[in-house]
Amino acid sequence: MTRLRAAGSADEIVDVLGELGRGRRGGAEELAYLADHPDPDVRDTLESALRAYRGRAARRLRERLQRGDSPALDPDSR
């Protein structure tokens, strides 16, 4: 999670998210802030990474991403 928070670009975030399914990770709720990321590759990779997570928080976050339910994606919020 430290590497994820330190990532400065969308490409770095995507790289770190790709690694989450293969190793030790924190809870899905720690990733919720990325659901609002403006880069669609980050949101798509987050959705894929969440498949390795279990529990209600991961399920709700995946559903949110699948619906596109994000303030960053809402044209009325800009």
pLDDT tens digits, one per residue of 8-63: 999 999 888 888 766 656 788 999 999 999 999 999 999 998 988 888 999 999 99
Alpha-carbon span 58 to 16, nearest angstrom: 17
Closest by Cα among 3, 16, 77, 67 to 42: 16
What's this model's pTM, rounded to 2 decimal places?
0.69
Residue indicated by tokens 């960053």: 72
* Cα–Cα distances in angstroms (integers) from residue 56 to residues 9, 29, 35, in the given order: 29, 10, 16
With contact defined as beta carbons under 8 Å apart, do 70 and 39 qualify?
Answer: no
Alpha-carbon span 20 to 52, nearest angstrom: 8
The one-letter amino acid code at 2 reads T
